[in-house]
Chain A
Amino acid sequence: MAEASKRLPEATPGWSRTLSLLNPLRGAWWLFTNVRFAIFLLAVLSAVSLVGVLLPQKPLPVRGDVVAETDWLAVQEGRFGFLTGPLDALELFNLFHAGWFAVLLVITVVSTAAYLVSRLPGVWRGITQPRVRVPDRYFEMAPNRATAAAAIDVARIESMLRAARYGVGRSDEDGATYLFADRFQWAALGTLFTHAAIIIFILSAVVSRADSFSSPLFLAEGSTLPVFPVSNPDQIQVELLDSIARFSPDGIPLDYRSEMVIYRRGDEVKRCESTVNSPCSYDGYRLYQTAYFGFGAAVQVTDTATGNVIYRETLPLSERTDAPHLRIADSDANLLFDQPVVMTDAARAGEQAYSAALLALSNGRVITVWLPLDGDDTLLVFEPEANADGATATLTLGETADSAGLTFTYASLESVPSLVPPDFPLPERAGEGVTGEAFLQMSNVVYGTGTTSEGTTLDTAGSPAGAPPVLTMIGLREGAVQLAPGESAEIDGLEYRFLGQREFSGINVRRDRSDLLVWTGAALIVAGLVITFWVPRRRLWAKITPTRTWLAGQAPGHANYSRELQRLLDAAGANNPETT
């Protein structure tokens, strides 16, 4: 049998190869196309990434802020001790943003790309111009082979191979028939797909780092915020129409949603809803809900002389102020008061300072409540300006006491949202009670329960008195100003109006154009794996003479291709198989 296969180029002598590697470009090419080097790189990258996952990484707001970084590292010293400095010097606390990590990624990409490029011509040649003849000795030494001491029906084996989706080529020479059968030859690209996917994943990380955009917005219902800095020609603005939260009866958040409008160039371009997992999308930007805050008070101040609004803000009442929950009943057990008391005043008795409040009961009696500011859990309750028969009681938490026909119960110590807003307009006249700053508290609000507000309408069913929220403003005049939604009070030419409770949503506007690359990489890696394991390439060579038949095959990943070859021989009519 003639040798039909191409001869391999002769191996380069060792010294010559060594010399050729001294050429820097040739040496680099050799290094980057070396499989072992690629595996080494991937192993290093995996190990380093694992370190980055295990070690705490500097949060985004800390990075680049020297003071914040110093504070953050001081906290880490508690965990890592003397290793903190060296770990920081090696940038292991900022690993995924470290320059050396980027260099490692680039080398990995170059190596993988070089390997891909170096393999591609050979793989392509193997697909489009497969070796149709192998040397006769290959039938004696192939890893997968079978032979029979008899001729077989060539036409039958051909048809069997075609039925098994092999492409079959045939040639006759010197009384022997040679077959070459190839199945799923394109599957050879599978591994290249996987390699390409690695490159694309790393590139997507680079694109994401270089190009991604993220802007957090904290919006009150009815307010609008821009996404970009001023004068950006692509500016978009987000208006929050409604911030919606649902909680389980025990206060576990079930759902946060935001209904919003997006504007561009002053025109409404989209009206949508956003949740934590289902963002609103516009022009490549995704708007995710990231936070919810339910205690906002919308306040407006108008100059009554001109009718012009001089102040309108939705204030996030982010502080908490103690509010003792007091229950008062008369001698017939009629409930006269049952809710947290908003402490509106200050009082002092000797060295002890108190917060204080006056309560007007439904039966006309007025009760004073004093709560010590030093954390003492006693509550003083008494009737001011009453004679010796007036009610007076000192209660500890949970205690009930009777006095002058009234029963007082100190049910619990609760708190109400509060804030000292900066720049809050005060009446010009420095009259009695004007303190130089306003103190706002909002009571009758519900949060963290099954009855938390739905939309802009506060569900007050679960509020202490079934009443709407009340805004208490202290420091504007003698005595507190208490307003329900829509109510106003005029003080020295200024009209203070409580517009109502508002909720806030934290919205993160993000754009990451590496998404497409990630999906492409994922598709490639899945395609590569599917091809490799589901439609693996099979190549089969046969030599059939009047007295003997040889089969040899290549089937990477096949558990026992020799057995398959044997079955083929059996089915084709050979009766004396000799299998290896």
Chain B
Amino acid sequence: MSESAETAGINVEGTPRRGRRGFARRFLYPLLVIAAIAAAIWWLEYRDDGPTSSTGEEYGPVSLPTELVPAGANVAAEEGALAPDFILESLDEGDELRLSDFRGSPVVINFWATWCKPCRKEMPQFVQAYDELKDEGLVIIAINQQEGRGIAQPFAEDFGMDFPIAIDRDGDVADRYRLLGLPTTYFIGRDGVIRSVFTGPFEAEGEGTNVQGAIDESELDRRIAEIMND
């Protein structure tokens, strides 16, 4: 049988075509796809996470300075352990806060947000406690969760929050402190050890009971007294 040359549109012989296009299809294109995927992963992993602190460290959890960690001490977000250190932007633009800078003072860390109703409810108690005890060395650090200055600043001003306020933009510090919800408050002694953790809003003095005089001290006051008297 002799095949004619006229085979328009039909590959009579069924001979595969090879050459440059075959090479591109087999090797070049797959390599390009793999390279693109690798580049995307690299970008997601190492993209710029925003501003860094004055020390060049990224805002968020940082290692405690070694001189502040006694031998054998455990650093963890749990009672009896040294509170994990962090460095965060302050609500006051240009400033920043580092927890370990307050070593030697009793520190209350309150995680909050303006959208959090229980946080709004309990905030006046923190304001009052700070007004009463700041001269005795009490430090309250309110860590705003992932909100911007534009939202947190007016709230802080209206509610009279005169204590240091930090912004945890990425939620990394909340993650390090294993937050389950807002509000959550850590009470840290002068030695940097977490004395207690309280999840949920503090009831105001006399709230939550019908018995007159049953509570003569709020839970917040009691816990603050614990770290003040350490």
Query: Which residues of chain A have a CB within 8 Å of any CB of chain B?
Result: 2, 4, 128-130, 132, 158, 162, 166-173, 180, 182, 223-226, 229-233, 235, 237, 239, 263, 265-268, 303, 306-313, 423
Shortest distance between the CB of B210 and any CB in chain A (Å)? 10
Q: Is the CB of B169 within 8 A of A169?
A: no
How far does the alpha carbon of A559 sit from the alpha carbon of B146 in the complex, in Å? 67
A-B contact pairs, 16 of them (CB 8 A): A166-B9, A168-B7, A168-B8, A168-B10, A169-B8, A169-B12, A172-B2, A231-B179, A233-B171, A235-B146, A239-B151, A263-B148, A266-B151, A267-B148, A307-B160, A308-B160
Please name the residue on chain B nearest to A307 by beta carbon. Answer: B160
Q: Is the CB of B159 within 8 A of A132?
A: no
Could you give, for residues 4-45 of chain B, a 1 whenever the CB lies within 8 Å of some chain A CB and a 0 otherwise? 101111111010000000000000000000000000000000
Please name the residue on chain A nearest to B9 by beta carbon. Answer: A167
Q: Is the CB of B6 within 8 A of A231?
A: no
Please name the residue on chain B nearest to A174 by beta carbon. Answer: B1
The reply on B67 being an interface residue by CB < 8 A is no
Please name the residue on chain B nearest to A167 by beta carbon. Answer: B9
The reply on B114 being an interface residue by CB < 8 A is yes
Q: Is the CB of A265 within 8 A of B120?
A: no
The reply on B95 being an interface residue by CB < 8 A is no
Q: Is the CB of A313 within 8 A of B2?
A: no
Please name the residue on chain B nearest to A265 by beta carbon. Answer: B169
B169: which A residues are within 8 A, CB to CB? 265-266
Q: Is the CB of A230 within 8 A of B10?
A: no
- Counting contact residues on chain B (CB < 8 A from A), the size range is 35 or more
The reply on B172 being an interface residue by CB < 8 A is yes
Q: Is the CB of B4 within 8 A of A171?
A: yes
Knowing that A235-B146, A306-B160, A308-B160 are A-B contacts, what are 20 other residue pairs whose CB atoms are under 8 Å apart, sorted by A's residue number? A166-B9, A169-B3, A169-B6, A169-B10, A171-B3, A180-B12, A224-B114, A226-B145, A231-B145, A231-B168, A231-B171, A231-B174, A233-B172, A237-B146, A237-B151, A263-B147, A266-B147, A306-B127, A310-B159, A312-B158
- Number of interchain pairs (Cβ within 8 Å): 124
8 Å CB interface, B131-147 against A: 131, 145-147
B160: which A residues are within 8 A, CB to CB? 306-309
Shortest distance between the CB of A43 and any CB in chain B (Å)? 39
Q: Is the CB of A132 within 8 A of B10?
A: yes
Using A162-B8, A308-B127 as known contacts, say yes or no to A173 and B147 having CB atoms under 8 A apart.
no
A312: which B residues are within 8 A, CB to CB? 120, 158
Q: Is the CB of A235 within 8 A of B171?
A: yes
How far does the alpha carbon of A423 sit from the alpha carbon of B120 in the complex, in Å? 11
How far does the alpha carbon of A169 sit from the alpha carbon of B11 in the complex, in Å? 9
Shortest distance between the CB of A166 and any CB in chain B (Å)? 7
Q: Is the CB of A129 within 8 A of B174?
A: no
Q: Is the CB of A309 within 8 A of B159?
A: yes
A266: which B residues are within 8 A, CB to CB? 146-149, 151, 167, 169
Shortest distance between the CB of B5 and any CB in chain A (Å)? 9
The reply on B104 being an interface residue by CB < 8 A is no
Q: Is the CB of A263 within 8 A of B9?
A: no
How far does the alpha carbon of A183 sit from the alpha carbon of B114 in the complex, in Å? 69
B170: which A residues are within 8 A, CB to CB? 233, 265
Q: Is the CB of B14 within 8 A of A128?
A: yes
How far does the alpha carbon of A128 sit from the alpha carbon of B16 in the complex, in Å? 9
How far does the alpha carbon of A52 sit from the alpha carbon of B175 in the complex, in Å? 42
Please name the residue on chain A nearest to B184 by beta carbon. Answer: A230
Please name the residue on chain B nearest to A158 by beta carbon. Answer: B6
Q: Is the CB of A171 within 8 A of B2?
A: yes
